[in-house]
Amino acid sequence: MRKKMIYVLLLVLLILTAIALAFKKVFERLDEKVESTDTNTVPAQASILYVPTSSNDSSLQAKISELENLTEIALTAGENIGFGKVVAIQNGTVYLFDPTDEDMYNLAIGIAKTSAVSGNLIRVALAGKINGFTGLEPNQTYYATIAGGMSIDDPESGMLRSVGIAISSSELLIDFSQKIEL
């Protein structure tokens, strides 16, 4: 059982590593934007996922325990956005993600950790865990729906884009690994 849990944790670490690498370019482009924002309004945080140098790395367990604090960024909302909405990042601005909009297929996506009115800063999680949801179905994969929504039902058109796996009724582990054009 312990060995299986270690494999699951390593799998989660590998998935998050892949996500962090995918967003490396986003961080590079948005770094100047984040540094120039008013951090008194919303603190900007962008952590890089730790990649172990070997499977015997003694700090691996410590890094796994930090997963809930990984990878979030503060950007300007391009429209009114509520907590928990799936968002797309385009030119440093955050919009509600729509899997039926082909222009959004290749944009970086995240999940809103705060609510924001258009023109104000919003915190967006790109990886890790998000708390504060209600009514999630544990162990279910959630997919992006129109207007930044999430559902356990596969969409019938547009893009099948996973956003996370519910680990409790209030917590979602971000997982953007599935991306299939329907």
pLDDT digits (tens, 9 = 90+) for 4-25: 666 666 666 667 665 665 555 5
The residues near 143 (Cβ < 8 Å, ≥ 6 apart) are 99, 150, 151, 152, 153, 154, 155, 160, 161, 162, 163, 178
pLDDT in the model for residue 31: 52
Amino acid identity at 148: G
pLDDT in the model for residue 181: 72
pLDDT in the model for residue 169: 95
With a cut of 70, list the residues of the chain below it in pLDDT: 1-14, 16-70, 182
Give dist(CA 109, CA 101) in Å, integer. 13
Q: What is the chain's length?
A: 182
Give dist(CA 14, CA 132) in Å, integer. 25
Instruction: Give, as one character, the DSSP assignment of residue 106.
Output: T
Asked if 68 and 128 count as a contact pair (C-beta separation under 8 A), the reply is yes
Amino acid identity at 80: N
Rg of the Cα atoms in the chain? 16
Give dist(CA 73, CA 111) in Å, integer. 10
Q: Give the number of C-alpha atoms closer than 13 A to the C-alpha of residue 33, restricted to the C-beta side.
A: 19
The CA distances from residue 146 to 55, 127, 142, 143, 155, in Å, are: 41, 21, 13, 10, 9
Give dist(CA 26, CA 22) in Å, integer. 8
